[in-house]
Structure 1
Amino acid sequence: MDEDDWGGLTEETDEHLRAVTEMLGLWARTTRRDVTEYRKVAQKMREVDCAHDKGGYGIDERDWKRAYGALRVAGYRLITSGFQMEKWHKVHRDLRGKELVTSQALRTLRNTLEHLDEAEFDWGVVRKRSGDNRHRSIDSLPGGRLSLAWDPSHSEHTFGLISVEKLDQRASKLTWVDESREYLLWEPTEFDFGRMEEGYDDDVLDD
């Protein structure tokens, strides 16, 4: 975690900053959970796709579509939580007088996904609707389009654009930002290990 991201939260009296810090920690933990889920679903998609290509017994087109549908949803959730984490991180840094360079690619993809209902679908590719002369987030994607076709590279890049590993790395640095430094740096003593082995209920009176 960046040293500047702590700031003595146990002594912090600014309730707004405390609330922002809690939101940052919440979305960082949510992002990490969504990374885990995305990788699990992506692994399932790879297995189904491989079995389908080999004509595996019991794997049909519906199984493939279900697996890829789950991957799309998992990708959408990950991009949403990652965007929220970065947004709250920027607010947190701004309040403490620190700068943060945010990912324009993440914002662009998030906004594109949020407005897919306003776009036009054509054989696994999404583009801006014909006749729409307004600037849309999808215009800023490579080629001005979003590909929804499956590719093995999507296992580590949501919608082929955002690195899952980089999102995980960012989130891991902020996972416990709303905890105190003392809590995170605490290490048990020999006495603590002894208490752990015996149990911590030795001061509890039996009825």
Structure 2
Amino acid sequence: MSDAEEAAITFVRAWGEAVLRTVERVADVRRRAAALNRELDRVWDRDGEATLTVIWRENWTEEHTLIWALHQLERWVARLAVERGEEAPQENVTLRNVRNALEHLDEAELPDDATAAVAGDNDRRNRSLRTLPGGQLYIATGGRIFGAFDLRDLAAIAQAQVDRVDLEATARHEASVDAAADSYADKVIDERRDTP
């Protein structure tokens, strides 16, 4: 195995694990937001509302981080394929467009309801945002991540890649142990043949 392949495997694992950790953080913050929302439905108070705003910001940034980690995972899976002389998997165009739209979110128009960012009238800006359904990126939290991805699906994608590199590592280790055992057995047999 080349050093480049080994590095690619390391980064596939690192970004796959990062996606899984971030999925857990998103799920946790969503649970906290739901519990606080239920409490505020029963008894509204200003402190609870302020806390909910903090939780919303945490949720939004975790979801953004999740998209970045997933993008990095996808890139390193492709690099691993290249290092192995295999065809790289097809790029997830929606992921690319959501990531790019997030990168240029500061250029988008933010309507008063602030549940979605829209591309606006300038055709030279927000090309990725224009490719998303309705030319908008959902920035409200909860439900599908940025209106495009199910949290469980993202976890499954990452888990599949982590499992794949784990299985490959186990297979390499077992092959190494088998080769060492065979070599030792051959050495013992050769020594016995040579002993009068």
TM-score normalised by structure 1 residue count: 0.72
Structure 2 counterpart of 1:136, from 127, 138, 141: 127
* Structure 2 segments unaligned to the other structure (5+ residues): 175-196
The answer for the alignment partner of 2:111 in structure 1 is 122
Relative CO higher for 1 or 2, CA cutoff 8 Å, sep ≥ 6?
1
Q: Residue 32 of structure 1 contacts residue 172 of structure 1 at CA under 8 Å; is this kept in 2?
A: yes
Q: In structure 1, how many angstroms separate the alpha carbons of the residues matched to 2:172 and 2:31?
A: 35
The letter for the 2-side match of 1:168 is: A
Shift of 1:160: 2.7
Structure 2 counterpart of 1:53, from 41, 57, 80: 41
Partner of 1:26, secondary structure, is helix
The answer for the alignment partner of 2:81 in structure 1 is 93
The letter for the 2-side match of 1:169 is: A
Once the two structures are aligned, what percentage of the paired residues are identical?
Answer: 25
Q: Residue 4 of structure 2 contacts residue 83 of structure 2 at CA under 8 Å; is this kept in 1?
A: no
Shift of 1:81: 0.4
Q: In structure 1, how many angstroms separate the alpha carbons of the residues matched to 2:121 and 2:132?
A: 17
Q: Residue 118 of structure 1 contacts residue 129 of structure 1 at CA under 8 Å; is this kept in 2?
A: no
Shift of 1:59: 4.9
Q: In structure 2, how many angstroms separate the alpha carbons of the residues matched to 1:180 and 1:83?
A: 23
Identify the structure with the greater strand proportion. 1
TM-score normalised by structure 2 residue count: 0.76
Q: Residue 137 of structure 2 contacts residue 147 of structure 2 at CA under 8 Å; is this kept in 1?
A: no
**Aligned residue pair count:** 169
The answer for the alignment partner of 1:171 in structure 2 is 158
The letter for the 2-side match of 1:162 is: F
Shift of 1:58: 6.5
Q: In structure 1, how many angstroms separate the alpha carbons of the residues matched to 2:107 and 2:37?
A: 30
Structure 2 counterpart of 1:145, from 136, 141, 163: 136
Q: Residue 51 of structure 1 contacts residue 59 of structure 1 at CA under 8 Å; is this kept in 2?
A: no
Q: Residue 52 of structure 1 contacts residue 59 of structure 1 at CA under 8 Å; is this kept in 2?
A: no
Shift of 1:129: 4.1
Question: 1:154-207 deviations in whole A, cap 9, x for unaligned?
Answer: 2xx21232111111111112226277225887xxxxxxxxxxxxxxxxxxxxxx
Structure 1 counterpart of 2:58, from 32, 54, 70: 70
- Alignment RMSD, CA only? 2.3
Structure 1 counterpart of 2:94, from 77, 93, 105: 105
